[in-house]
Amino acid sequence: MPPPSFGTLDQTDLTALRSICGADFVLTDSPDLAIYGADETEDLCFPPEVVVRPQTAVQVQAIMRYCSARRLPVTPRGAGTGLSGGALPVHAGVCLSLERMNKILEVDTNNLVAVVQPGVITQMLQEVVEAQGLMYPPDPASRGSCMLGGNLAECAGGPRALKYGVTKDYVLGVEAVLPNGDRIRWGGKLLKNVTGYNLAQILVGSEGTLAIVTEITLKLVPLPKHRMMVVAPFDDGEKAATALTKIFMARLTPSAAEYLEGAAVRCAEAKFGKSFPQSDADAHLLLELDGNDRTLLERDAEAVGEICLAEGARDVLLADERAKMDDLWQMRRGISEAVKSVSIYKEEDTVVPRARLPELVRIVRDICARHRLSAITYGHAGDGNLHVNILKRDLSDQEWDERLPGAITELFEKVVAMGGAISGEHGIGWVQKRYMPIALGPAELALMRGLKGAFDPDGILNPGKMFPDEAP
Amino acid sequence: MPPPSFGTLDQTDLTALRSICGADFVLTDSPDLAIYGADETEDLCFPPEVVVRPQTAVQVQAIMRYCSARRLPVTPRGAGTGLSGGALPVHAGVCLSLERMNKILEVDTNNLVAVVQPGVITQMLQEVVEAQGLMYPPDPASRGSCMLGGNLAECAGGPRALKYGVTKDYVLGVEAVLPNGDRIRWGGKLLKNVTGYNLAQILVGSEGTLAIVTEITLKLVPLPKHRMMVVAPFDDGEKAATALTKIFMARLTPSAAEYLEGAAVRCAEAKFGKSFPQSDADAHLLLELDGNDRTLLERDAEAVGEICLAEGARDVLLADERAKMDDLWQMRRGISEAVKSVSIYKEEDTVVPRARLPELVRIVRDICARHRLSAITYGHAGDGNLHVNILKRDLSDQEWDERLPGAITELFEKVVAMGGAISGEHGIGWVQKRYMPIALGPAELALMRGLKGAFDPDGILNPGKMFPDEAP
């Protein structure tokens, strides 16, 4: 599997890694390797030869210096919650887990920033800062288990991205270890900084292929005092998508605007044993608004509801009790897992200009019908970001393998033709790299290869990801 | 002046450039060359050998292909309003002016984006979108004459950056021409996109050293319905800075928070023949708030005013008439020019964590006193971004040359020690590059050189900028 240019680990290597991290933090047992060989991407598993779990940036430097000299492939890993296979050690070698670098180093309430290590669980930071009246907005569905380092590597989004932006909008500074073991720092507690190239931003979304981030300075914002949800079931998914466009055209800015097909909602109901209002509808809009003035918020929520009704919503339900809202969000966040439990599936992370969402909904349904596949679609419609889950259900392996690639290729070609992109927030990783030439041309890919070479001339860091395989 | 590796232009080159752009758009007369040899940085002038003014990306590609083959240095130029010498053709060669690529290609009110060419004047875009109820927030003081391409190259900020962010936060997509003439596109009307490395973000703030941007997709936001200003004069500049910190700690988010030393205000009064309230004060805070609910806005403005009074403001003045607010902003935006008319000066664009602003104010005053220099300080205090204008006044050339570098070095060292950076929004360009080793270490600078090499292996694009000169 590893191309001939990579070394394979031997006992000397294991001894060296144990002397860097401590023997307890170097794993080589098969069950451990299997765990670290998988993430949340489909049912893939590529076990590494060894797992190292450093606790300090100095240890990360020593590991990288050693692996660089030995040309050993290194795959960095956060919580392994990724959906594009970014953390899969596809060339075996070393899995470098950041899970022990899990400290919130500082919450600076004067400057509204937090300084964290990469292994901090996203929700943990959110709860700590919320207790101080602040908010860290990016909220991927996996926020209860994913880590901030992984969020940075993938430029994670989530529902609130609509109003608050994605991870890149919150990264003010980084410390990172380069493949050669050098440690760099860029930025800090600064809202403006143009001192040299923005080395922090080039790392955001680079999927662990350029450097290993060992410390992050994140922007925080004041926590809004109030929030409120609006749920609108529609008998026609396209009309739900159209209603959303009208909401934005009315200059209303919900803090989240999720589109959920009925089938997605019913999967979540079955999974969690809870009911969603009018779950027999073709599709739902799940909207949240937030702000500091309750009256203003109620007025905006009513305006949102009126637009939904005018566009054909069956009904509009408002929720402002914490418990009820938490229930709705739990079901929304659990959809991915719920759909996964129904069938083998392949998830595509399409994104288009927001106003073209109704068209995307129609295209997905049309492609699936023509390729005789079934799909469950849901996602962050306010960003034009729809997760299309194509399900195997009772297809034979042969039918699945024959129909799937053509359907995905057609979907991505249509998305790109609409001015969209093939990944909004999950990344390219291992499972989408073959489709990259649909999204980017030879000049863009050559430039990306040049950037990769500037950081990682030997190509040891997270090899086999993002870039389409070269023609043989 | 050009290092031996660069070619010098001959008649064949001029003929080739004329055949690409049309003879009317290739300038070689000395007065023209002198104009394009200067920007707004001090009194520097480095005339190019030729100015080319292409109108299309295809022409830009042809120019770059030609200059690349001939190894001719190319300095891209927007409006020439930069303050760090980014547009100065310090190695002569070709000045590539984007001024004729000045079309707003689209204002998409459904997706809340604008697609523009790089030569569009910032204020022109702002006025066009405001007429449609939208806002393009970045507002550098030069917005009436600077261009969006230059804003992208420098990652321009301005007062509203405080609430709305800087240029990087609005760039969703780019089309750009690489030094070898290849044209790349990345992103588009997409609020989320993780398809490959973020090639748009690496160009933002790269000061025209990596590629020439030929089209930009910019995010727009709904225009707030109301705004209101608060002016607070203080007898002690440090107390003004402290009041600002308290305002943020109270979770109030002004849309702008400017700090103006009395001397800066008095320069502007003299320049514009207008009066500023209580201009004899040591320093002023000039704050703006915006929002959609007038009552809420008034409540927040009052809260801001009360904090200022509690921290020692002489008085607090509210303004909500358009004409009065425009007057105040005109004076604020004119300060740079007004200070420039007083004396030869050197402007430093310091930025520190916002809460350390009072300390920065004290440090600037202390350094100037010890080095026997006078300074006028003002800027975007809400971002921790202070422009320190050191004035020559009646010093001899020798005194000026002896005192200045030591003072700047000490200022930058102290700023970096405070967790700050040596440029917040003006860029490094030509005039700050010698100080880069204070801000970034050898590993960061080596990585930056690697990135530069990936885009521009021959180093023909905007040579002599950003990077400190190598030791001989």
Choosing from B288, B317, B336, the residue where a domain stops is: B336
Residue A59, domain member (yes or no): no
Q: How far is residue B195's CA from residue A427's CA, in Å, rounded to a whole number?
A: 6
Residues in chain A closer than 8 A to B154 (CB atoms): 194
Number of domains forming the structure of chain A: 3
Same domain, A265 and A353: no
Distance from CA of B226 to the nearest CA of A (A): 14
pLDDT in tens, A133-187: 999 999 999 999 999 999 999 999 999 999 999 999 999 999 999 999 999 999 9
C-beta separation of A430 from A41 below 8 A: yes
Maximum distance among all Cα pairs of chain A, rounded to whole angstroms: 70
Same domain, A110 and A216: yes
Q: How far is residue A199's CA from residue A230's CA, in Å, rounded to a whole number?
A: 40
Triad A361, A363, A369: Cα angle to 5°: 105
pLDDT in tens, B90-119: 999 999 999 999 999 999 999 999 999 999
C-beta separation of A122 from A146 below 8 A: yes
Chain centroid offset of residue A208 CA: 13
Choosing from A304, A336, A368, the residue where a domain stops is: A336
- In this prediction, residue A340 carries a pLDDT of 87
Percent of chain A scoring above 70 in pLDDT = 99
Residue B354, domain member (yes or no): yes
Q: How confident is the model at residue B301 (pLDDT cuts 50, 70, 90)?
A: very high
- In this prediction, residue A48 carries a pLDDT of 98
pLDDT in tens, A398-442: 999 999 999 999 999 999 999 999 999 999 999 999 999 999 999
Q: How confident is the model at residue A472 (pLDDT cuts 50, 70, 90)?
A: very low
In this prediction the pTM is 0.97
User: In this structure, what CATH number is given to the domain that contains residue B404?
Assistant: 3.30.70.2740
Residue B387, domain member (yes or no): yes
> Which residue in A194, A247, A258, A290 has the most chain B C-beta atoms within 10 A of its own C-beta, making it the best mutation to test that interface?
A194
Q: Give the mean pLDDT of A371-397.
A: 95
Residue B130, domain member (yes or no): yes
Same domain, A254 and A295: yes
Same domain, A231 and A215: no
How many Å from the N-terminal Cα to the C-terminal Cα in chain A?
15
Same domain, B387 and B297: no
Q: How far is residue A184's CA from residue A215's CA, in Å, rounded to a whole number?
A: 10
Q: Which helix (H) or strand (E) holds B28?
A: none
Output the 3-class SS for A83-105. Answer: CCCCCCCCCCCEEEECCCCCCEE
Triad A7, A12, A88: Cα angle to 5°: 45
Q: How confident is the model at residue A471 (pLDDT cuts 50, 70, 90)?
A: low
Residues in chain B closer than 8 A to A111 (CB atoms): 353-355
- In this prediction, residue B217 carries a pLDDT of 98
Same domain, B298 and B376: no
Q: Of B248 and B147, which is predicted with more confidence?
A: B147
Residue A414, domain member (yes or no): yes
Q: Are strands B221-222 and B134-135 parallel, antiparallel or unpaired?
A: antiparallel
Residue of chain B whose alpha carbon sits nearest to that of A356: B111
- Identify which of A109, A205, A436 has the shortest CB distance to residue B198: A205
Same domain, B114 and B213: yes
Q: What is the interface size between A and B, counted as CB pairs within 8 Å?
A: 256
Residues in chain B closer than 8 A to A251 (CB atoms): 133, 222
Same domain, A144 and A239: no
Choosing from A201, A222, A243, the residue where a domain stops is: A222
Predicted interface score ipTM higher than 0.90: yes
Distance from CA of A351 to the nearest CA of B (A): 7
- In this prediction, residue B53 carries a pLDDT of 98
pLDDT in tens, B339-372: 988 899 999 999 999 999 999 999 999 999 999 9
pLDDT in tens, B51-78: 999 999 999 999 999 999 999 999 999 9
Residues in chain A closer than 8 A to B210 (CB atoms): 197
User: In this structure, what CATH number is given to the domain that contains residue A320?
Assistant: 3.30.70.2190
Bridge partners of A51, per DSSP, are A27, A95
pLDDT in tens, B228-248: 999 999 999 999 989 998 998
- In this prediction, residue B4 carries a pLDDT of 46
Burial B97-132 (b: 16+ CB within 10 A, else e): bbbebbebeebbbebbbbbbbbbbbbbbbbebbeee
Residue A138, domain member (yes or no): yes
Helix (H, G, I), strand (E, B) or coil at B75: strand
- In this prediction, residue A51 carries a pLDDT of 98
Q: How far is residue A357's CA from residue A363's CA, in Å, rounded to a whole number?
A: 10
Q: Give the mean pLDDT of A311-332.
A: 94
User: In this structure, what CATH number is given to the domain that contains residue A190?
Assistant: 3.30.465.10
Same domain, A176 and A246: no
CB contact under 8 A, B194 and A426: yes
Same domain, B288 and B306: yes
Residues in chain B closer than 8 A to A454 (CB atoms): 447, 450-451, 453-454
Q: Of B337 and A137, which is predicted with more confidence?
A: A137
Residue A330, Cβ neighbours under 10 Å: how many?
Answer: 13
DSSP assignment letter at B461: B
Q: How far is residue B196's CA from residue B128's CA, in Å, rounded to a whole number?
A: 33
Same domain, A233 and A138: no
Same domain, A359 and A252: no
> Which residue in A64, A182, A193 has the most chain B C-beta atoms within 10 A of its own C-beta, making it the best mutation to test that interface?
A193
Residue B234, domain member (yes or no): yes
CB contact under 8 A, A253 and B182: no
Residue B253, domain member (yes or no): yes
Q: How confident is the model at residue B471 (pLDDT cuts 50, 70, 90)?
A: low
Domain that holds residue B246: 226-336
> Cα dist. B364→A154, B233, B264, B411 in Å?
41, 20, 15, 7
